[in-house]
Amino acid sequence: MYQARTTPPRRPTPSAKPSKRKLYSTIAVIAVLLLIALGVFLGSKAFAPDTTSGTTSNTEQSASSLQFDKQQYSTTNSASIWVIVNKQNPLAPKEYAPNNLVFPDVPLRVPGNDSMQLRQDAATALEKLVAGAKSEGLTLMLASGYRSYTYQVGLYDGYVRSMGKTEADKTSARPGHSEHQTGLAADLEPVSKECELEICFGDLPEGKWLAANAYRYGFIIRYPIDKTSITGYEYEPWHLRYIGTGLAAELKKQNLKTLEEFFDVAGGTSY
């Protein structure tokens, strides 16, 4: 016979583990927080400045210059291929003369003359440059290379006598301030001597080729157009300066035209 229970049923003992409902709530909260964090991140990316445009930003330019070792060569040692010589920075000593001058194997305006010499490294680079131009049907000639301190004294004094000191300083360096004295500077011209050491050389095929290709051989147009206030000299499309392929390529990469700008060195039109 069935007999009703006289004692209440035993309740289950509570478990030590958290309930499933509490666990699901915790997971839901974490998921919401993660979604909020992701939204903030994506929003910041959406409003970040565009760094993929063709224009090089100041930050990118600074990063580029940080990667390039500006301390590789001295800019004050007269024997350095990076020496900066201008009206504010003379050679030291002013009578400096390089000890490895040679005649480059290129057409020379005055064969055998001392002014047809260059430093060995610059001469070798010039030979490659002239050969490169010739491969494109352009024949270049060395018009002027090394000039000693004594030579520059006579040259500068001649300009002063003929045009006055103010005008002479625009076109000729004072002794001890000339790049030609380093043996790293070369004035070029066509073998035809058309536009010989004249601004119109820049409009000739030879001048245009130099402007576009000199850096490939370690040279720059040392006195570019519209940079007189920086270099101290008027535009000279024929005047090349050897600085090595590494630095020449870096200037090209940063779209800089002068050594003064790249190294932040004083220049200008006054001594």
Domain harbouring 244, CATH code: 3.30.1380.10
Res 8 pLDDT > 50: no
Distance of CA 49 to the CA centre of its chain: 26
Whether residue 199 is contained in a domain is answered as yes
Identify whether the C-beta of residue 73 lies closer than 8 Å to the C-beta of residue 172.
no
Whether residue 204 is contained in a domain is answered as yes
Whether residue 177 is contained in a domain is answered as yes
Matching residue, tokens 């080729």: 209
Whether residue 257 is contained in a domain is answered as yes
Whether residue 75 is contained in a domain is answered as no
Structurally, the chain folds into a number of domains equal to: 1
Task: State the Cα–Cα distance between residues 175 and 99, nearest whole angstrom.
Answer: 18
Identify whether the C-beta of residue 94 lies closer than 8 Å to the C-beta of residue 124.
no
The per-residue pLDDT for range 96-127, each reduced to its tens digit, is 999 999 999 999 999 999 999 999 999 999 99
Whether residue 12 is contained in a domain is answered as no
Which tokens hold the place of 64? 């580029």
What's the pLDDT score for residue 219? 98
Whether residue 168 is contained in a domain is answered as yes
Give the contacts of 226 (CB within 8 A, at least 6 positions apart): 235
The per-residue pLDDT for range 252-264, each reduced to its tens digit, is 999 999 999 999 9
pLDDT band at 159; cut points 50, 70, 90:
very high
Task: State the Cα–Cα distance between residues 232 and 91, nearest whole angstrom.
Answer: 16
The per-residue pLDDT for range 9-55, each reduced to its tens digit, is 444 444 444 455 565 566 666 765 666 666 555 554 444 444 333 33
Helix 205-213, helix 120-134: angle, nearest 10? 120
- Residue ranges making up the domain that contains 129: 86-263
Identify whether the C-beta of residue 240 lies closer than 8 Å to the C-beta of residue 220.
yes
Whether residue 20 is contained in a domain is answered as no
SS3 118: strand
